[in-house]
Structure 1
Amino acid sequence: MLRHARQTVPSKGQTAPEAPAHMPPPKAAGTRAAKTSARPDGEPVRTLVIDVGASGIKATLLNDLGRPVGERVRRETPPSGMPGEVMDTVVALAKHFEPFDRVAVGFPGVIVDGIVKEAPNLAPEWQDFNIAEVLQARLKKPVRVANDADVQGFGAIAGTGVELVVTLGTGVGTSLFVDGRLVPNLEIGARKLRDKALKKVGKEKWNKRVAKFVRKLDGIFHFTRLYIGGGNSREVDVSLLPANVTIVSNVNGLVGGLALWRDGAQGPVNGRSSAGQEKAEDRTAA
């Protein structure tokens, strides 16, 4: 069920195409972006990118080209999924990366103006929680927040045509881009693809469901390309999928965060990671 509205891909097994350097990216919820990519002392801006998932919270620092400049760190998401505990974990994780200049957050829910409208894989208490405002107050840095599948998309897309991103982890996330521009807050119900469903019915039947879902999306959007990420993307049988579907690295969920700090038109992040660059630890369920 389509609840909200949110691009020539290589053959199966090939990595996603490089993003064109001229594409400028997005304006996301939170504070206004800086108009320069350098600090007053002339040093490049350091962007802390945080990917909040239902089972894990990951973070890294990015340079101005969207490339990691340090290690990638992961912490377990508090089992309660409550806002206070998750925010405490995020803040503690952020302290590990100091100093940084600004923050981009991918969050597993619908985000409007920095406010969580729903987070089905966490806790009901997230509804109407102003995550951008709370984090900015605690970190003393400007913060921008977007849906995690949208952020993953910015790290994966080519920037032309109709591109869809599907993230398979604890839940299922989706994002839609048209010529590099995000159509925000796309939420397409796919409960039969969740992690619980995979464990219940097994990989073979689950993959048939994935293939059916992809056909459904093609019938609705007639996509140019579709990218599949998330922790369970490693379980996907690409032989059941058309050639314009690509498995992408979960690192894109961090690299795409740089796009949240680009004013103007939305588009992909140059220098994103490809599927072939993904390490085993980057395939942890989101």
Structure 2
Amino acid sequence: MTSSPHTGFGIDFGGTGCKGAPVDLDKGAFAAERVRVKTPANSSPDIIAGLFADLVAQFPDSTCPIGVTVPGIVRNGVVSSAANIDKSWIGTDADALFTEALKRDVHVVNDADAAGLAEVRYGAARGQQGLVIVTTLGTGIGSALIYDGTLVPNSELGHLHLQGHGAAEKWAANSVRQAEDLSWKEWAHRLSVYYQTLEALFSPELFVVGGGISKESADFLPLLEIATPIVPATLRNQAGIIGAALYANR
């Protein structure tokens, strides 16, 4: 694999694993087999920077800018929240840290935002004009707002408070469905309340549902009582890497 203007590189930084691969930006697909390494218990910035340097070194032909997802709010390359990673990330200029460690231009983006960019460019929302809201249903609820292909970063719509129910992700995330042993119908009611709230606030053209549970979308999406079209994500666990690579090369 040789780098070209149409090749990017993405790294998906998670609380349990870090995954990276070169990406064909024309096709929105991996250009080589993905490498995964376990996120160490001590996931401080310097340690992760060294881990990423070792990961990228496995692709010696790659010379393009690198995109990195972070499970937190990112403003101008600086991480300002850390839900599932070491708290020492808060206040870290991750763009500068990784650029120095990898000797390459590196650009950091929120993980849900990366997935959203990938789904709009290559996946379930490809060709959709207007406002698309991509939500990831997992331990919490991640979100990405994309208008005519332009990302509105750090939306964090899983933190919206639903009247009488508190934070949306504490009541309607997939982890809550599992913990409370909710039926698909019971969970669909909660999701309906959540998506109805998003409809009232944003009037989107389309919802895209990601996260591992999207594989079972036929069990719950048809039960939702909302007016906006809603579809499952198509890139699934590849979306973070592909979206990060796309973000770094925009």
TM-score range, shorter chain: 0.7 to 0.9
**CA 1:79–1:220: 2 relative to 1, 3 Å:** farther
Query: 1:226: how far off?
Result: 0.8
Instruction: Tell me if structure 2 keeps the 8 A contact 1:168–1:232.
Output: yes
Q: Which runs of 5+ in 2 are unaligned?
A: 121-125, 160-168
Aligned partner of 1:49 in structure 2 is: 10
Q: 1:225 aligns with which of 194, 206, 213?
A: 206
The amino acid of 2:10's aligned partner reads V
Greater alpha carbon shift after TM alignment, 78-87 vs 66-75: 78-87
What TM-score does the superposition give when structure 2 sets the normalisation length? 0.78
Relative contact order, CA 8 A, sep 6+: which one is greater? 1
Give percent identity, aligned residues only: 28
2:240 is aligned with 1:253: yes
- State the SS of the aligned residue for 1:228: strand
What TM-score does the superposition give when structure 1 sets the normalisation length? 0.69
Instruction: Tell me if structure 2 keeps the 8 A contact 1:54–1:170.
Output: no
Query: 1:162: how far off?
Result: 1.0
Aligned partners of 2:30 and 2:145: how far apart in 1? 25
The amino acid of 2:209's aligned partner reads I
Instruction: Tell me if structure 2 keeps the 8 A contact 1:55–1:170.
Output: no
Aligned partner of 1:208 in structure 2 is: 189
Aligned partner of 1:96 in structure 2 is: 58
Aligned partners of 2:40 and 2:178: how far apart in 1? 22
Aligned partner of 1:191 in structure 2 is: 170
> Any residues of structure 2 matched to 1:15-34 within 5 Å, and which?
none
Aligned partners of 2:188 and 2:60: how far apart in 1? 42
> Any residues of structure 2 matched to 1:1-286 within 5 Å, and which?
43-44=4-5, 46-65=7-26, 66-101=28-63, 102-157=65-120, 158=126, 159-188=128-157, 189=159, 190-194=169-173, 196-204=175-183, 205-236=186-217, 237-241=220-224, 242=226, 244-248=229-233, 249-250=235-236, 251-263=238-250
Q: Deviations over 1:159-181 (max 9, x none)?
A: 51110011123332111112221
Aligned partners of 1:143 and 1:187: how far apart in 2? 23
Q: Which runs of 5+ in 1 are unaligned?
A: 1-37, 264-286
Aligned partners of 1:67 and 1:44: how far apart in 2? 15
- State the SS of the aligned residue for 2:133: strand
Instruction: Tell me if structure 1 keeps the 8 A contact 2:134–2:144.
Output: yes
Aligned partner of 2:166 in structure 1 is: none
**CA 1:83–1:261: 2 relative to 1, 3 Å:** closer
Instruction: Tell me if structure 1 keeps the 8 A contact 2:78–2:93.
Output: yes
Instruction: Tell me if structure 1 keeps the 8 A contact 2:77–2:109.
Output: yes
Instruction: Tell me if structure 1 keeps the 8 A contact 2:50–2:101.
Output: no
**RMSD, aligned CA:** 2.5
- State the SS of the aligned residue for 2:30: coil
Instruction: Tell me if structure 1 keeps the 8 A contact 2:8–2:246.
Output: no
* Structure (1/2) with the larger helix percentage: 2
Instruction: Tell me if structure 2 keeps the 8 A contact 1:224–1:244.
Output: yes
Instruction: Tell me if structure 1 keeps the 8 A contact 2:30–2:242.
Output: yes
Extract structure 1 runs of 4+ deviating beyond 4 A: none
Q: Deviations over 1:142-190 (max 9, x none)?
A: 1111111111111112351110011123332111112221111111212
Query: 1:114: how far off?
Result: 0.8
Aligned partners of 1:86 and 1:197: how far apart in 2? 30
